[in-house]
């Protein structure tokens, strides 16, 4: 099921009259993106752009329904539009939704309200890295998180440190847990299936930038 069912409607703070609000979200892709799907619907007509690329060709999206009972939503494969830093802009105009028929009023929204609901589901590549320096040298694991502004990564099961856990409830006894501490990116190397730890290069394939192994040239 689409993650849109976990999302909530967002709406404009004030009535802009005939001006369309644009809802903007900026986010960083933490790792190499394997697949990204944007699910979106609106009360009113929406038009969505990612990094200034119009997504889809649908005019008058999300399409007509009896809003009281159901609302259509669309899924778009937006993988090729994602970069490291991404801006999503959703413009929502007054649509069929915006009228004065009180009988179509949804229990949680006023009939004249403009709102949008959206979810972006991103699947990342499973990046396996090997630690090439420090106490965990030789250990391998998958990158769990990239801390971009500090040039550090968290690797599953690697660089474990003991951490005192706070009691969260009366019953919770707290205690010591092992958590992964961040590693500097210079201490890890991406693992190529053929060659083992390697360095990353880039190759252009048409307008697509491919990440390749510097040793064997295979895509990573
Ligand atoms: Zn290789």
Are residues 41 and 115 both part of a single domain?
Answer: yes
Residues with CB under 5 Å of ion ligand 1 are 192, 194-195, 213, 215-216
Are residues 19 and 84 both part of a single domain?
Answer: yes
Residue range of the domain that includes 109: 3-124
Candidates 158, 154, 157; CA nearest to 134 is 158
Domain final residue, candidates 71, 103, 124: 124
pLDDT band at 40 (very low <50, low <70, confident <90, very high): very high
Q: Mean pLDDT for the chain?
A: 86
- Does residue 73 sit within a domain? yes
- Does residue 120 sit within a domain? yes
Q: How far is the CA of 195 from the centre of ligand 1 (A)?
A: 4
Please tell me the total count of domains within the chain: 2
Q: How far is the CA of 198 from the centre of ligand 1 (A)?
A: 7
Q: How far is the CA of 214 from the centre of ligand 1 (A)?
A: 7
**Cβ 128 vs Cβ 142: under 8 Å:** yes
Q: How far is the CA of 121 from the centre of ligand 1 (A)?
A: 30
Are residues 73 and 153 both part of a single domain?
Answer: no
- Statement: residue 168 has pLDDT above 70: yes
Q: Is 76 helix (H, G, I), strand (E, B) or coil?
A: strand
Q: How far is the CA of 212 from the centre of ligand 1 (A)?
A: 8
**Cβ 113 vs Cβ 178: under 8 Å:** no
- Does residue 46 sit within a domain? yes
164 vs 96, higher pLDDT: 164
Whole-angstrom distance, CA of residue 149 vs CA of residue 126: 21
Q: How far is the CA of 210 from the centre of ligand 1 (A)?
A: 14
Question: Could you tell me the CATH number of the domain that includes residue 23?
Answer: 2.60.120.260
Q: How far is the CA of 124 from the centre of ligand 1 (A)?
A: 20
Are residues 112 and 168 both part of a single domain?
Answer: no
Q: What are the pLDDT digits (tens) for 4-21?
A: 999 999 988 777 777 889
Are residues 43 and 21 both part of a single domain?
Answer: yes
- Does residue 138 sit within a domain? yes
Q: How far is the CA of 189 from the centre of ligand 1 (A)?
A: 12
- Does residue 209 sit within a domain? no
On the question of a cis peptide bond just before residue 62, with omega within 30 degrees of 0, the verdict is yes
pTM score, two decimals? 0.67
Q: Which residues pair with 160 in a beta bridge?
A: 180
Q: What are the pLDDT digits (tens) for 129-162?
A: 999 998 999 999 998 888 888 999 999 999 999 9
């Amino acid at each position: 099921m689409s993650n849109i069912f976990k999302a909530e409607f967002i709406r404009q703070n004030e009535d802009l009259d005939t001006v369309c609000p644009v809802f903007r979200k900026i986010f960083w892709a933490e790792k190499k993106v394997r697949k990204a799907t944007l699910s979106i619907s609106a009360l009113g007509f929406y038009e969505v752009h990612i990094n200034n690329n119009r997504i889809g060709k649908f005019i008058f999206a999300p399409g007509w329904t009896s809003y009281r009972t159901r609302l259509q939503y669309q899924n778009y494969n937006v993988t090729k539009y994602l970069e490291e830093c991404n801006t999503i802009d959703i413009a929502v105009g007054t649509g069929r939704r915006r009228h004065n028929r009180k009988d179509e009023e949804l229990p949680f929204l006023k009939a004249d309200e403009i709102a949008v609901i959206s979810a972006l589901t991103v699947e990342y590549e499973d990046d396996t890295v090997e630690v090439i320096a420090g106490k965990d040298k030789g250990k391998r694991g998958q990158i769990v998180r990239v801390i971009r502004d500090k040039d550090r990564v968290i690797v599953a099961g690697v660089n474990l440190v003991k951490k005192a856990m706070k009691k969260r409830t009366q019953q919770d006894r707290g205690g010591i847990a092992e958590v992964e501490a961040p590693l500097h990116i210079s201490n890890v190397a991406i693992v190529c299936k053929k060659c083992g730890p390697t360095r990353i290069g880039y190759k252009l394939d048409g307008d697509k930038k491919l990440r390749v192994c510097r040793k064997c040239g295979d895509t990573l």
